[in-house]
Amino acid sequence: VSITRGCDNMCTFCVVPFTRGRERSRDPQSILEEINDLWARGFKEITLLGQNVDSYLWYGGGLKKDFDKASDIQKATAVNFANLLDMCAKAQPHMRIRFSTSNPQDLTLDVIETMAKHHNICKHIHLPVQSGSNRILKAMNRLHTREEYFQLIDNIKRLIPDCAISHDLIAGFPTETEQDHQDTLSLMDYVKYNFGYMFTYSERPGTLAERKMEDDVPEDVKKRRLAEIVQLQREHSEIRTKQYLNTVVEVLIEKESKKSNKEWSGRTSQNSVAVFPKAQYNIGDLVKVKITDCTSATLIGEAIGLSDNQ
Ligand code: SF4
């Protein structure tokens, strides 16, 4: 369910501000109508989508950048992302709600508190950090520091201890030194992400980085740094997945497992894939699954009953 278009940030590696234009939010009433309609048609889970969802702001229409010019009434009745999440979670209390993507600089405490308040808001935040080095974050025009990111992570873990966190990371951004790379690895060590999307830097035509920065990290260095990041993430994913052993998780059944037609595959609130024998359950059921085994990315278990949150 699309909730915003465009982006007012100017991350130097990103083409979105030039292709999608300035940020604009969608009327919450039309979002709620779409969600209600999807529920009526049998959908059990939705994802609120935007380039930068946490920046959502509805004040009767208009671009986000013009909010300052809004009337006092418009300002007083404005709906931000935490408000919208709350409205969606209440409108369909049995529908699972996810959202993507969050820019750390815009993710507020209110949003985390709203997630903690509602069982049906999935406990997973995709929180791209791109680099663990303050110098590189600045060069990327990400408007937060490594220390502020840690604070955000601490707040998430304090308010939602079982929240999964994932990332996007870029290896070899222009001018990245060995020390910058080490900062990325140590940031990963601090967070111990559940999973992530990792890339070597490559210039995107039309971006500020392409126009103003030399792509000066040699390809073999980028590849080696990426391999180190991927290896570390593999270790962290394994630690995170193993934490679910011998626990009971709630899984929404999505489809037949790729490996066996006798098993279902679904996802937990934390966005981990879980597989288990089909038994009497069906696609769309929310079931309790006892986890007995795992690989680094998949939970393996046995369904022990329907969830009370059906
Ligand atoms: S990376 Fe995300 S926040 Fe940054 S400019 Fe692109 S869309 Fe906006």
Per-residue model confidence (pLDDT) at position 203: 95
DSSP for 244-260 reads: TTT-EEEEEEEEE-SS-
Last residue of a domain, one of 202, 223, 242: 242
Per-residue model confidence (pLDDT) at position 193: 98
The two three-digit tokens of residue 107, written as one number: 């993710």
Tell me, yes or no, whether 109 and 257 share the same domain: no
Over 90: is that where the pLDDT of 309 sits?
A: no
Q: Using a 6 Å cutoff on CB, does residue 11 contact ligand 1?
A: yes
Tell me, yes or no, whether 111 and 254 share the same domain: no
Average pLDDT over residues 279-287: 97
Tell me, yes or no, whether 255 and 230 share the same domain: no
Per-residue model confidence (pLDDT) at position 167: 98
Give whole-number Cα distances, 52 to 4, 31, 55, 249, in Å.
8, 16, 6, 29
pLDDT digits 0-9 by tens, 56-111: 999 999 899 999 999 999 999 999 999 999 999 999 999 999 999 999 999 999 99
Per-residue model confidence (pLDDT) at position 271: 97
CATH classification at residue 51: 3.80.30.20
Instruction: Name the residue range of residue 189's domain.
Output: 4-242
Per-residue model confidence (pLDDT) at position 310: 76
Average pLDDT over residues 121-132: 98
11 Cα–ligand 1 center, Å: 6
Q: Domain tally for the chain?
A: 2
28 Cα–ligand 1 center, Å: 22
Given CA atoms 296, 297, 302, 306 in this order, what sign does their dihedral have?
positive
Q: Using a 6 Å cutoff on CB, does residue 14 contact ligand 1?
A: yes
Q: Using a 6 Å cutoff on CB, does residue 9 contact ligand 1?
A: yes
Tell me what percent of the residues of the chain surpass a pLDDT of 90. 97
Q: Using a 6 Å cutoff on CB, does residue 16 contact ligand 1?
A: yes
Find out whether 153 and 166 touch, Cβ atoms under 8 Å. Answer: no
Find out whether 304 and 288 touch, Cβ atoms under 8 Å. Answer: yes
Tell me, yes or no, whether 223 and 253 share the same domain: no
User: Average per-residue pLDDT in the chain?
Assistant: 96
Average pLDDT over residues 24-38: 98
Tell me, yes or no, whether 130 and 272 share the same domain: no
Tell me, yes or no, whether 56 and 125 share the same domain: yes
Over 90: is that where the pLDDT of 120 sits?
A: yes
Per-residue model confidence (pLDDT) at position 49: 98
Under 8 Å CB-to-CB from 36, ≥6 apart: which residues? 91, 92
Tell me, yes or no, whether 64 and 176 share the same domain: yes
199 Cα–ligand 1 center, Å: 16
Under 8 Å CB-to-CB from 10, ≥6 apart: which residues? 17, 141, 208
Last residue of a domain, one of 198, 218, 242: 242
Average pLDDT over residues 120-136: 98
Average pLDDT over residues 165-175: 98
Last residue of a domain, one of 242, 274, 292: 242
Tell me, yes or no, whether 284 and 152 share the same domain: no
Q: Which atom of ligand 1 is nearest to the CA of 101?
A: 2
Average pLDDT over residues 159-183: 98
Find out whether 4 and 58 touch, Cβ atoms under 8 Å. Answer: no
Average pLDDT over residues 180-197: 98
Q: Which atom of ligand 1 is nearest to the CA of 51?
A: 7
Per-residue model confidence (pLDDT) at position 304: 97
From 166, 145, 25, 34, select the one nearest 91 (Cα to Cα): 34
Residues in the chain: 310
Tell me, yes or no, whether 122 and 35 share the same domain: yes
CATH classification at residue 271: 2.40.50.140
Q: Using a 6 Å cutoff on CB, does residue 12 contact ligand 1?
A: no
Per-residue model confidence (pLDDT) at position 71: 93
Q: Which atom of ligand 1 is nearest to the CA of 7?
A: 8
Per-residue model confidence (pLDDT) at position 276: 98
Q: Using a 6 Å cutoff on CB, does residue 3 contact ligand 1?
A: no
Tell me, yes or no, whether 260 and 148 share the same domain: no
Average pLDDT over residues 118-136: 98
Tell me, yes or no, whether 289 and 169 share the same domain: no
**Ligand 1, residues 16, 106, 126: which to mutate, most atoms within 8 A of Cβ?**
16
Q: Using a 6 Å cutoff on CB, does residue 52 contact ligand 1?
A: yes
Over 80: is that where the pLDDT of 40 sits?
A: yes
7 Cα–ligand 1 center, Å: 6
Tell me, yes or no, whether 288 and 168 share the same domain: no
